[in-house]
Structure 1
């Protein structure tokens, strides 16, 4: 049966859209995967693995806020989609790094999620399982990246693992928590001298979040006396947001994403190759 011309065009267009949707779904399944990694007794640590086609390293990303991404079996995020290093995960993969977005563990999938949990031994155990799993998948360097309150997780894990085999090949602290209300221990309050891997700080000079004043960054850097190499990538410009501690303003490097990504990857590749055992 011959269809009228207008209906024929509509059917053809629908078929094309269907093929595009099928291709996108297929492409996603090839590049993004959900994994539940056993970490503690009866506990698993869920991660979203976004694969790069020509990988040079792996970023293990610790998001900020309460950290409860609530990653579905299909890889959808119920929370935190706009967080820096999360919202741009596919672009990071295109620039040559695998990205592992870390959720709250299976026993912390309800409020307060990771709040009050980021500086505890069981959190270290969960991250250790992720780092070990990442190294089992590939022979590439593994970099632990924290954003905002995720810098608590990244810094604490790094100082707990020192120069052991479980230490990451580098730590990136972006929009670090430099000030807070007691009893919360800020990043500068930690014994940063125990970090013994390359350390990169990434911060916006105009960050107006009350917990991230740029002026407090240098004293924190001065405490990291035992790192083999340390650097600061600082930025100005972009756009801010009324939610000053949210991810869509200066705090989250809004409209500077591409430059921050490029600079971070370039520094890591130049200064943080895969560590040799015992180094």
Structure 2
């Protein structure tokens, strides 16, 4: 449930919202930050009541989720619609839209400019607390998360989670995670993939080979997902977006992050 305070959006302006998830209260804000000359990025920031980690969430497709000044979104899928689920599991999140100078993230997710935009959001999260910051992407969004880890280094995420990752390019709308130099990723990495994902660019069978290229990342783990609902466009919903089991998959991701952090290996800026 959202309680909305409306007003004109300006760089740096936040709009407070109330988000209730499973009995847990989270503070939600719409933020817009400068990232590059004459460029800003808008994101929804949802703060968990008792956070244990932070995460930047990258939806797939063209990435233009359409955050409105009142906090609603034009596109709400597994990650773009995940504020309540993640905060309920103790992870504060920033759900990012496209930057102000672009209509989509097509042919942009692997660039230094995109990484610079992401760096501003990561820096914002680190200003909120001293907890680790993870980059979590789904489908094409996995490329954004991986690029941040490769190009930003110490300014980048403390770990990455790659869900339903695009691994081939059957058409111009697909942007494989392998467009990032995965052999240069040094942070802990978790893959999450549905065993029966039917999207042509995201076959489950390709994931072990991609994982094998990540020689410097430790650990590199895989959660294999089964069940849920298989309906709709196979690249927009269904197994590809963990339809019907979103809460379960989110909890699995959060539990993995918590287990890793409990080993004392992940820290802000590590």
Q: Which structure has the highest strand share of the two? A: 2
Query: Is the 1:61–1:102 contact (alpha carbons within 8 Å) kept by the matching residues of 2?
Result: yes
Which residue of the partner structure matches residue 9 of structure 2?
none
Give the TM-score normalised by structure 1: 0.83
| Alpha carbons of structure 1 residues 115 and 54: separation in structure 2 relative to 1, 3 Å | same
Q: Which structure has the highest helix share of the two? A: 1
The alignment partner of 2:145 has SS state of: helix
Runs of 4+ in 1 over 6 A off after TM superposition: none
| Alpha carbons of structure 1 residues 167 and 212: separation in structure 2 relative to 1, 3 Å | same
Q: Over aligned residues, Cα RMSD in angstroms?
A: 2.1
Which residue of the partner structure matches residue 203 of structure 1?
193
Which residue of the partner structure matches residue 118 of structure 2?
127
The alignment partner of 2:54 has SS state of: strand
How many residues were matched structurally? 249
Give the TM-score normalised by structure 2: 0.86
Which stretches in structure 1 are left out of the alignment for 5+ residues? Answer: 1-20
**Which of 1 and 2 has greater Rg?**
1
Shift of 1:208: 0.2
Which residue of the partner structure matches residue 227 of structure 2?
237
Shift of 1:259: 1.7
1:19-98 residue pairs with structure 2 within 5 A?
A: 24-25=3-4, 28-29=17-18, 31-77=27-73, 79-81=74-76, 83-98=77-92
Higher mean displacement: 207-216 or 182-191: 182-191
The alignment partner of 1:93 has SS state of: helix
1:191-230 residue pairs with structure 2 within 5 A?
A: 191-230=181-220
Which stretches in structure 2 are left out of the alignment for 5+ residues? Answer: 6-15, 19-25
Deviations 1:161-208 (A, max 9, x none): 3xx321211100000001114786622354211000000000001000
